[in-house]
Amino acid sequence: MAEQDGGGRAGPPPGLEQLLALQELDVRLDRLRHRRAHLDERAALEALTGRLEALDVEQRRVAEERSALLARESELESETAAVVARAAAIEDRARGGAASSYRDQEAMAQEVEALGRRRAELESLELSVLEQGEPLEAELARIAEARGRLEPELEAARSALAEAEAEVDAEAAGALARRRELAGIVPAELLAEYERLRARLGGVGVARLDRGRCSGCHLALPATEVDRLRHAPAGELAHCEQCGRILVP
């Protein structure tokens, strides 16, 4: 019956040449997707974002340390205030003649003296807390400054990435438009089989038979198989015996 097909060589099913062109576009689109995901500009932005995150972590740590010191400082302040008030109250009572005996007077004087020592102790603690806070303030200022320098760098890196992405996207848009055209020409069933094979076989679902070799797996087909493919009935879809890809004779 092949003789009715114009009397010449039996032709492969329609749409195979278009499918090969579509496969080429898919490979190109895959490369573009890969390029888009691995842009140098993306790595540069990620590095800067990483630096910003590290600064944020440092800032939080120092700020926590500083707020612990501030809490300690306000504790010391209120304890000092209590000591001062207590000493003043005792002195008031002493002046008001509350001490009935010399021993009471002596006891009051001793307590005021002890409170005075405690006050000096508290004030010295407070001073040391303030001193501990100074390097933290400096650290926070340094972090804020580093953040300030990083912001414009981030801004520049973001727009560089957007530009590089747009360039890849523009190239992909052209390939996608052409692919859509081809996908409209290739018979739906053939296209579906191609997609299945492509998903399973590393992105390549159709190959050409080139000098007895499958261009998909690069293995030579047995001569008898090549001969059979060449003389296959019109419309019969061939597959590579070795890799299973659609084969275009």
CB of 223 to Zn ion, least distance (A): 16
CB of 246 to Zn ion, least distance (A): 10
Indicate the residue among 214 and 248 with the shorter CB distance to Zn ion.
214
User: Does residue 243 interact with Zn ion by CB under 5 A?
Assistant: yes
Indicate the residue among 125 and 201 with the shorter CB distance to Zn ion.
201
Indicate the residue among 23 and 80 with the shorter CB distance to Zn ion.
23
Binding mask 207-236 for Zn ion (x = CB under 5 A): -------x-xx-------------------
Q: Please check whether residue 21 is in contact with residue 182, taking contact to mean a CB–CB distance below 8 angstroms.
A: yes
User: Does residue 10 interact with Zn ion by CB under 5 A?
Assistant: no
Q: How many CB atoms lie within 10 A of CB 219?
A: 12
User: Does residue 204 interact with Zn ion by CB under 5 A?
Assistant: no
Phi/psi-derived region of residue 13, left when phi > 0, alpha when psi is between -120 and 50, beta in every other case: beta
Q: Dig out the tokens for 22 from the structure.
A: 């579509």
Residues 88-117 that bind Zn ion (CB under 5 A): none
Q: Dig out the tokens for 191 from the structure.
A: 């296209």
User: Does residue 242 interact with Zn ion by CB under 5 A?
Assistant: yes
Q: Please check whether residue 191 is in contact with residue 233, taking contact to mean a CB–CB distance below 8 angstroms.
A: no
CB of 242 to Zn ion, least distance (A): 5
CB of 59 to Zn ion, least distance (A): 58
User: Does residue 176 interact with Zn ion by CB under 5 A?
Assistant: no
Q: Which residues contact 234 (CB under 8 A, 6 or more apart)?
A: 2, 5, 10, 11, 12
Nearest to 55 by CA among 141, 156, 146, 151: 146
Burial 125-144 (b: 16+ CB within 10 A, else e): bbeebeeebeebeebbeebe
CB of 202 to Zn ion, least distance (A): 12
User: Does residue 185 interact with Zn ion by CB under 5 A?
Assistant: no
Q: Please check whether residue 214 is in contact with residue 245, taking contact to mean a CB–CB distance below 8 angstroms.
A: yes
Could you list the residues that contact Zn ion (CB under 5 A)?
214, 216-217, 240, 242-243
